[in-house]
Amino acid sequence: MRNYLAAECYKVFRRKYFYSALLTVLALEGLLIWGYWFTWTHGNTGVDFSGSLVTLFMMVSIGLYAAILTGDMIFSEQYKYNTLKNEVAYGTPRPRIYLGKLLVATLVALMAAVVMVGVYLGFCWILLPHNEADSSALATLGYVLAGALPLWLGAQALTMACYFIIPNNTLAAFVVVALLGVLPPILQLCGLLIHPGFEHIRQLMPAVLLEQLYQRAFQTDYLGLCWIVGLVLTVAATLVGIVTFQKREIR
Amino acid sequence: MTDTILATKGLTKRYGSHLAVDRAELTVEKGQIYGLVGRNGAGKTTIIRMITGQTVPTAGEVTLFGTAGRDLLKLRARTGVMVETPSFYPYLTARQNLEYYRLQRGIPGKGTVDQVLEETDLADTGKKTFKNFSLGMKQRLGLALALMNRPDFLLLDEPINGLDPEGIVEFRNLLLKLNQQRQTTILISSHILPELANLATCYGFIDNGVMLEQISAKALEEKCRACIEVQVDDPNAAALLLEQQLGTRDYEVLPGGTLRLYSFLDQPQTVARVLVEGGVALCSMESRGANLEDYFLSMIGGVRHA
């Protein structure tokens, strides 16, 4: 497995894809921070460090969809380029191929998250004014990230399962968006029109849990729910993905 | 005594109602260059895919290096495989693609990549990415990957597609060198039968998913040897005449009054005269002999695209 992980890291860090995606996000972050700094330096006293963190809390949902990018980076359209045959024909066990890609995708996603959050926090800390609300805002950030982490992991596992199950990467990405982003409003509608049970299911969807994380800060039972949902999604998606991939004909 | 490198037993693959491979029995012995011959869609690639684990067989068993079942996975690391068009990451160079697979396979030594690039004449491709390679370069990179782990057994599916005449000769020489110097056993499927005839020491013929015959190159050569085949009323008398009048024993008597003469090939009129004047009734007489292509076509029963 160590060899497999080393090879995947070698591949991903030699592509422009990772760096260009990260630079694009960092540039957008820079624009946002510049906006805060510009309005503050032009007399808007309502702008401060703790206020800038609220934007970060609201952006944690983006992490769900970022899994599509990191998954694509690692899976690298292997069905399109038929490169999986080089791995399977050498006798690499299929579960190792699957788990290796999932692990590296998770690693890359975590690295990107650390860089993005770190850069945002660092620049906001340096450029914006501070007050007594900073410590509670940082504590809330810690809580939000602790709740978001398992849900991001679940999204990454779901994305990787879709890339392995669906031979077309674009279609796989659409399915992920549909499952993570489109399904919750559909469930909400079904809850209103058909049965309230659908609304209960909606409350367990990763996107809905992430939306409510900030409002439900420091509720440990809610944090526990995020971890249970995230881990169940991770295990279930990975099992389905591996079982399907085991049977797939590799061309 | 020879060691069996590959053996398949009742290997079958069914796609819905289509039977792609039907109970294929195939044996490759150590040191052989095994030519798998069949027309398009005969089942050659499906057999190779089942051997490499890309396709799960519907029934039957593959034994590699004397081992079957779950342990096959480990033994596949002793093989080098090139199935159909070589596939690599288009945005990586030849060196980067090979380095990726070297790391993945845990092959020690960074020099390994340079060595196989040298062997396959790709050492000077520099920063050119795989997507900009010609078909011949792609084929050579596929071969480089197959050779990187110094395999004991090479499986090559249509490996000379896209190679220019010079490339084909180089490729043939490389395979012969691997076979003779490293004792690498090779299974090679190809449409280009004359080229296969230059390499193979054993053949397997397949049509419509059924293995028709496995035969050594020597036995095939014997079968295809040029001769004059005569049908006579008394083969023993004919044989005596050939020995006494023409002084040759280079013939064989077959059942049903058939006699094959392997000398005097350019003098059929002399042979006919000797037999007739000796009182033997000559029912038919024809010149025979075939190459690999003729033999394969006669086996599948007609002129079809091989």
pLDDT of residue B301: 63
CB contact, 8 Å: A15 with chain B? yes
B233 Cβ contact list (under 8 Å, min separation 6): B257, B280, B281, B283
Query: A205 burial class (0-12, 13-18, 19+ CB within 10 angstroms)?
Result: buried
- A93: which chain B residues are within 8 Å (Cβ-Cβ)? 73
- A16: which chain B residues are within 8 Å (Cβ-Cβ)? 91
B177 Cβ contact list (under 8 Å, min separation 6): none
CB contact, 8 Å: A75 with chain B? no
* Strand, helix or coil for residue B24: strand
Q: How far apart are CA B62 and CA B10, in angstroms?
A: 9
Report long-range pairs for A183-190 (Cβ below 8 Å, ≥24 apart).
A184/A208
Q: How far apart are CA A227 and CA A1, in angstroms?
A: 26
pLDDT of residue A172: 95
Tokens at residue A114, please? 């650390």
How do residues A139-165 score in pLDDT, each as one tens digit? 999 999 999 999 999 999 999 999 999
In a mutational test of the B interface, the residue from A86, A97, A169, A247 whose CB has the highest number of chain B CBs within 10 Å is A86
Nearest to B100 among A10, A92, A247 (CB): A10
How do residues A129-139 score in pLDDT, each as one tens digit? 888 888 888 99
Asked if A83 and B87 touch (Cβ cutoff 8 Å), the reply is: yes
Picking from A164, A163, A14, A169, the residue whose alpha carbon sits closest to that of residue B91 is A14
Nearest to A86 among B55, B101, B155 (CB): B101
Interface of B with A in 123-162 (CB under 8 A): 145, 149, 155
Sheet architecture: strand order including B18-29: B18-29, B4-15, B59-64
User: How does pLDDT run along chain B (306 residues), one tens digit per residue?
Assistant: 458 999 999 999 999 999 999 999 999 999 999 999 888 888 999 999 999 999 999 999 999 999 888 888 889 999 999 988 899 999 999 999 999 999 999 999 889 999 999 988 899 988 999 999 988 889 889 999 999 999 999 999 988 877 788 888 888 888 998 899 989 999 999 877 888 888 899 989 898 889 988 888 888 887 777 888 899 999 899 999 999 999 988 888 888 888 888 888 888 899 999 999 999 999 999 888 777 777 777 777 654 444
Asked if A160 and A101 touch (Cβ cutoff 8 Å), the reply is: yes
Interface pTM (ipTM) of the complex? Answer: 0.86
**Phi and psi torsions of A221, nearest 5°:** -65, -35
**Phi and psi torsions of B179, nearest 5°:** -70, -40
- A83: which chain B residues are within 8 Å (Cβ-Cβ)? 87-89
Is the confidence at residue A28, as pLDDT, over 60?
yes
Nearest to A90 among B49, B77, B99 (CB): B77
How do residues B54-107 score in pLDDT, each as one tens digit? 999 999 999 999 988 888 888 999 999 998 889 999 999 999 999 999 999 999
Nearest to B55 among A3, A87, A249 (CB): A249
Do A85 and B87 count as a contact with CB atoms less than 8 A apart? yes
Rg over CA atoms, chain B: 24
